């Protein structure tokens, strides 16, 4: 049986996540995070939720929690055959697979979070999950509202990034088409052209880091295929302003022999999506 770890994304955060894990590697991870991002331990442990849900805090917190849960899952049932991270989860996935050191992963996630926070403050916007619509219907709804399909989560769940002025219209159009619009717990419109400038700055920042060959395949949100050596900077840099192809990624992983998925992070959002993809 081949198993993959799925590293959770933004929106899954909760105060106290991973703090129940009492493993040497986890303690060392928290200590490393505190050195690189002072104050992050208190935010993870105590929140409150509104503070934890600010992008500049959420992303480093999720990096630490995801990686901690991955270490714990490995202790229980061994290492996986492959990994995939959802949006922000891609960076702890790359770190777990040995592509990045923990220290570099923390520096990268802190920069990503800061750039996306700046973009949120400049552009605002929201992420609306269009439930019970096909991807094609979600694309039509987005086009009618000047919005963008951002996350292809499952066959009947596509997340749409939308500006603040078009948010109400989008929710109405989704309902008119027979779907249900659910606003996500994030602070802006991600994985869309509004993040173009931030993506360019992030790509430039990434060029200063060294990327090692992965110990196991890391499936990329941008391509739905494993990362290729020499393409790490471009792939990770473009991810910020491009759709997350989660449905296609899971299909590709299954076709490549993965038959079990373990979510590493707080909650069970991703394994729930995998169940819907497999139906």
DSSP string, 233-249: HHHHHHHTTS-B-HHHH
Residue (of 197, 123, 200, 131) closest to 162 by Cα position: 123
Please answer whether residues 184 and 129 qualify as being in contact, where contact means their C-beta atoms are separated by less than 8 angstroms.
yes
Any catalytic annotation for residue 103? no
Clarify whether 191 is annotated catalytic.
Answer: yes
Q: Which of 87, 187, 199, 242 is catalytic?
A: 87
How many Cβ atoms sit within 10 Å of the Cβ of residue 42? 11
Q: What is the 3-state secondary structure (H, E, C) of 122-161?
A: HHCCEEEEEECCCHHHHHHHHHHCCCEEEEEEECCEEEEE
Positive or negative, the Cα torsion across 244, 247, 250, 256? Answer: negative
Report yes or no: 220 and 46 within 8 Å, Cβ to Cβ: no
Which residue of the set 53, 81, 187, 191 is catalytic? 191
Which residues are known catalytic residues? Answer: 87, 191
């Amino acid at each position: 049986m081949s198993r993959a770890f799925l590293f959770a994304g933004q929106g899954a955060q909760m105060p106290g996540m991973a703090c129940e894990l009492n493993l040497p590697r986890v303690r060392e991870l928290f200590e490393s995070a505190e050195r690189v991002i002072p104050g992050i331990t208190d935010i993870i442990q105590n929140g409150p939720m509104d503070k934890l849900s600010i992008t500049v805090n959420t992303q480093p917190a999720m990096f630490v929690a995801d990686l901690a849960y991955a270490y714990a899952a490995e202790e229980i049932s061994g290492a996986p055959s492959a990994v995939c991270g959802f949006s922000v989860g891609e960076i702890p996935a790359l770190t777990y697979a040995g592509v990045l050191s923990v220290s570099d992963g923390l520096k990268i996630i802190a920069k990503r979070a800061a750039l996306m926070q700046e973009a949120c403050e400049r552009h605002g916007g929201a992420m609306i999950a269009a439930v019970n619509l096909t991807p094609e219907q979600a694309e039509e709804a987005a086009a009618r509202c000047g919005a963008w399909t951002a996350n292809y989560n499952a066959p009947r769940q596509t997340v749409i990034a939308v500006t603040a002025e078009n948010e109400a219209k989008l929710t109405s159009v989704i309902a008119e088409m027979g779907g249900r619009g659910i606003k996500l717990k994030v602070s802006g419109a991600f994985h869309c052209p509004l993040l173009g400038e931030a993506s360019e700055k992030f790509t430039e920042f990434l060029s200063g880091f060294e990327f090692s060959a992965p110990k196991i395949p890391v499936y990329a949100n941008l391509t739905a295929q494993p990362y290729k050596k020499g393409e790490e900077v471009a792939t990770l840099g473009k991810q910020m302003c491009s759709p997350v192809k989660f449905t296609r990624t899971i299909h590709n992983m299954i076709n490549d022999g993965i038959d079990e998925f373990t979510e590493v992070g707080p909650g069970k959002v991703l394994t729930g999506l995998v169940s819907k993809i497999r139906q």
